[in-house]
Amino acid sequence: MRERLFRIGAGALAFGLLGAGEAIVLLVSSELRYESPGIETIAQIARYGILGAICGSILTRATQTTPPAQMGRLAFAFGLFLMAGWWVHSALLQNIGLFQIVSLLWSAGILIGVCAIFWLTKRITGKLLRNVSLSLIVSALVFSALVFRTESKAAIAFKGKGNLPDITLIVIDTLRADHLSCYGYATPSGEKTSPIIDSLAQEGMLFPVVHAQAPWTRPSMASLHTGLYPSAHQVNRIRDRVPASAVTLAERLHQQGYRTGAFSANAQVSPTFGFAQGFDSFWLSSEQPLVRFSMWGEVVQKINKRILRRNPQAGRDAAALVNAEIKKWVSTTGNQPTFTYIQYIDPHGPYDPPEWLLSSNKPDIRSHLANAKNFQHADPFPFGQRPYVTPSIRAQVVELYDGEIRYVDREIGHLIEFLKGIGKLDATDWLVITSDHGEEFFDHRQWGHGHSLFEEQLHVPLIVLGPGVPPDSRAPHPVSLLDLHPTISAWGNAHCEEEVSGT
DSSP output for 340-366:
EEEEE-TTSSSP---GGGSSSSPP-HH
* The pLDDT value given to residue 380: 42
DSSP 92: I
Q: Give 92: exposed, middle or buried? Use CB within 10 Å, 0-12, 13-18, 19+.
A: exposed
Q: Who contacts 473 (Cβ-Cβ below 8 Å, separation ≥6)?
A: 204, 205, 206
* The pLDDT value given to residue 46: 84
How would you write the pLDDT of the chain (503 residues) with one tens digit per residue? Answer: 566 676 677 777 778 888 887 777 777 665 566 666 777 777 888 888 888 788 777 766 666 666 766 777 777 888 888 888 877 877 676 666 667 788 888 889 988 988 888 887 776 665 666 666 667 677 766 666 665 554 444 444 444 456 899 999 999 999 999 999 999 998 888 889 999 999 999 999 999 999 999 999 999 999 999 999 999 998 988 778 899 999 999 999 999 999 999 999 998 998 888 999 999 999 987 665 666 667 767 777 667 665 655 555 545 458 999 999 999 999 999 999 999 999 999 998 888 888 777 766 665 665 555 544 444 444 444 445 556 677 888 888 888 899 999 999 999 999 999 999 999 999 999 999 999 999 998 888 777 888 889 999 999 999 999 999 999 999 999 999 999 999 999 999 998 867 788 77
CA distance 497 to 164: 19
* The pLDDT value given to residue 405: 95
* The pLDDT value given to residue 66: 66
Check if the beta carbon of residue 262 is closer than 8 Å to that of residue 341.
yes
β-pair type (447-448, 440-441): antiparallel
CA distance 503 to 483: 5
* The pLDDT value given to residue 189: 83
* The pLDDT value given to residue 316: 46
* The pLDDT value given to residue 499: 78
Alpha helices in 371-437 (DSSP H): 391-421
* The pLDDT value given to residue 176: 96
Q: HSE of 352 in the Cβ direction (CA atoms, 13 Å)?
A: 14
CA distance 254 to 427: 22
Check if the beta carbon of residue 52 is closer than 8 Å to that of residue 15.
yes
Torsions phi, psi for 77 (to 5 deg): -65, -45
Q: How many CB atoms lie within 10 A of CB 61?
A: 10
Nearest C-alpha neighbor of 396 from the set 360, 432, 428, 443: 360
Q: What is the 3-state secondary structure (H, E, C) of 123-176?
A: CCCHHHHHHHHHHHHHHHHHHHHHHCCCCCCCCCCCCCCCCCCCEEEEEECCCC
What is the topology classification, in CATH, of domain 167-358+385-491?
Alkaline Phosphatase, subunit A (3.40.720)
Residues carrying CATH 3.40.720.10, the chain: 167-358+385-491
DSSP 404: H
β-pair type (384-385, 447-448): unpaired
Q: Who contacts 292 (Cβ-Cβ below 8 Å, separation ≥6)?
A: 301
H and E: helices and strands count for the chain: 15, 14
Residue 448's SS3 state is strand
CA distance 487 to 210: 14
CA distance 144 to 39: 9
Check if the beta carbon of residue 96 is closer than 8 Å to that of residue 103.
yes
* The pLDDT value given to residue 150: 47
Check if the beta carbon of residue 489 is closer than 8 Å to that of residue 252.
yes
Residue count of the chain = 503
* DSSP assignment string, 304-347: IIIIS---TTTTSS-HHHHHHHHHHHHTTSTTS-EEEEEEE-TT
* The pLDDT value given to residue 493: 93
Rounded (10°) angle between helices 126-147 and 2-29: 30
The strand ranges marked E within 180-324 are 205-206, 210-211, 259-264, 281-284
Q: How many CB atoms lie within 10 A of CB 360?
A: 9
* The pLDDT value given to residue 502: 72
